[in-house]
């Protein structure tokens, strides 16, 4: 999931040939008028649809009905062909060849709108577009036509499942998304020990990536960002001949990685000191909960309860959403998350919801479409500028302070 994923950041850095020091997106100046329906007050250029989708999905998960104008803002971001860009400041202007289409944003929007219900026309067109840009190996890259990566392929699988599709039957040249994921799974033994890589390197070799592994486990299990605890698996690391075995292998890798550093993951961006990676830790919680490895998932949620407040406040709505989804996956009350009400905190970053809903624990017990000018800048540059503040995958989300 990232809020958006570090794996995507690293890939972007590799593409442009150099890492740019991370920098938090500045708050908008008085002259910048971002949409009032949008969650968050930072420049949405690279993550507007992503963070909006996560915010709406998290609210729906805890029984909160989002503001109608926020949902409408998201649906109006869709291009005529069904795709979504990272952000369109003027949705009345048709998408064209310069519009930077985004498989991750499209998939996140599908998951959110499918959960909310009543938007089948939008999700159907979006799924149709995703199918049209599927790679020959069965997977997807961040941008249409880009090389398949674990994070993008996994979040598309989540979107397909949310929309009622059977991911294993969505094929290109006889290859399904699961075929693509299995090619990105490392063998057992050695440093990789069942992890997923983001993409092969220039030599075609795979390197373990915790963020991609969290995404890959969810993708291999055919689930999206809203996770219900799975059935405990006692499978040991073996050759990943099936998606289920690949998920079990990846979960084992994550469990070991989390335990090694005190129940959380660490970031390791080039040129920067290692630091706790809150977003990817939340992603790992989702993956382990889905796999049924709840013991480590719950330990890591406890760590997030104690340590994630400052990160979430700095990172904004997508981070709050990620924590809410991690809480939901482990049966933790998001309204009392280390003493904080995540649902309320998320709500303050956007329009007031229509209803407040119930807490996760209770359920288990019984701005207009105007904005700053569009800048025709490669998304890769934006990713690099926001790299390194520890926001997780998912999805690919993939993208760091994202908000990327």
DSSP letter for each residue of 100-153: -B-HHHHHHHHHHHHHH-S-HHHHHHHHHHHHHT--TTS---SSTTSPP-HHHH
pLDDT means over runs of 10, the chain (404 residues): 44 36 42 83 96 98 97 98 97 95 98 98 98 98 97 98 98 98 94 94 94 98 92 82 96 95 87 91 97 94 98 98 98 97 98 73 42 37 38 48 38
From residue 75, alpha-carbon distances to 79, 83, 87, 332, 369 in Å are 9, 11, 12, 31, 12
Element (H, E) at 60: helix 48-61
Global pTM value: 0.85
Distance CA 65, CA 352 (A): 10
Query: In whole angstroms, what is the distance from residue 339 CA to residue 230 CA?
Result: 27
Report pLDDT for 357.
61
Q: Give the model's pLDDT for residue 223.
A: 96
Supply 76's token pair: 């109006």
Integer Cα distance of 134 and 315 in angstroms: 31
pLDDT at residue 355, rounded to an integer:
76
CA distance 295 to 31: 49
Asked if 54 and 402 touch (Cβ cutoff 8 Å), the reply is no
Cα–Cα distance list, 187 to 6, 207, 233, 235, 268 (Å)? 22, 11, 19, 15, 22
Tell me what pLDDT residue 33 has: 74
For residue 204, what are the contacts with CB-CB under 8 A and spacing of at least 6? none
Spatial CB neighbours of 381, under 8 Å, sequence gap ≥ 6: 12, 16, 20
- pLDDT at residue number 356: 66
> How many angstroms separate the CA atoms of 78 and 47, rounded?
14
Count Cβ atoms below 10 Å from residue 283 Cβ, excluding itself: 39
* Amino acid 2: pLDDT: 52
């Amino acid at each position: 999931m990232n809020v958006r994923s570090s794996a995507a950041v690293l890939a972007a850095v590799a593409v442009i040939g150099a890492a740019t020091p991370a920098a938090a997106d500045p708050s908008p100046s008085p002259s910048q008028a971002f949409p009032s329906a949008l969650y968050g007050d930072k420049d949405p250029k690279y993550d507007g649809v992503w963070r909006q989708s996560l915010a709406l999905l998290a609210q729906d998960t805890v029984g909160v009905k989002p503001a109608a104008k926020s949902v409408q803002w998201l649906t109006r971001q869709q291009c005529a062909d069904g795709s979504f860009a990272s952000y369109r400041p003027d949705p009345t202007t048709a998408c064209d060849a310069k519009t930077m289409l985004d498989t991750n944003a499209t998939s996140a929007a599908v998951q959110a709108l499918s959960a909310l219900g009543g938007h089948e026309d939008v999700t159907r067109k979006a799924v149709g577009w995703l199918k049209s840009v599927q790679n020959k190996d069965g997977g997807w890259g961040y941008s249409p036509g880009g090389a398949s990566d674990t994070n993008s392929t996994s979040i598309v699988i989540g979107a397909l499942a949310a929309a009622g599709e059977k991911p294993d039957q969505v094929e290109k040249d006889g290859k399904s998304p699961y075929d693509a994921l299995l090619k990105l799974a490392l063998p057992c033994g050695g440093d990789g020990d069942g992890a997923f890589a983001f993409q092969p390197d220039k030599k075609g070799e795979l390197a373990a990536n915790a963020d991609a592994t969290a995404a890959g486990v969810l993708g291999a299990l055919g689930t999206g960002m809203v996770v219900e605890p799975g059935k405990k698996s006692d499978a040991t690391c073996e050759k990943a001949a099936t998606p289920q075995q690949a998920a079990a292998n990846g979960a084992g890798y994550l469990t070991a990685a989390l335990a090694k550093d005190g129940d959380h993951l660490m970031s390791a961006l080039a040129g920067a000191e290692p630091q706790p990676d809150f977003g990817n830790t939340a992603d790992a919680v989702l993956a382990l909960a889905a796999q049924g490895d709840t013991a480590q998932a719950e330990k890591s949620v406890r760590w997030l309860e104690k340590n994630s407040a400052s990160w979430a406040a700095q990172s904004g709505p997508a981070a709050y959403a990620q924590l809410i989804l991690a809480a939901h996956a482990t049966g933790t009350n998001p309204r009392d998350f280390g003493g904080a009400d995540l649902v309320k905190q998320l709500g303050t970053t956007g329009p007031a919801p229509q209803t407040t809903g119930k807490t996760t624990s209770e359920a288990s017990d019984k701005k207009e479409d105007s904005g700053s000018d569009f800048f025709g800048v490669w998304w890769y540059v934006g990713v690099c500028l926001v790299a390194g503040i520890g926001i997780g995958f998912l999805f690919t989300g993939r993208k760091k302070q994202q908000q990327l």
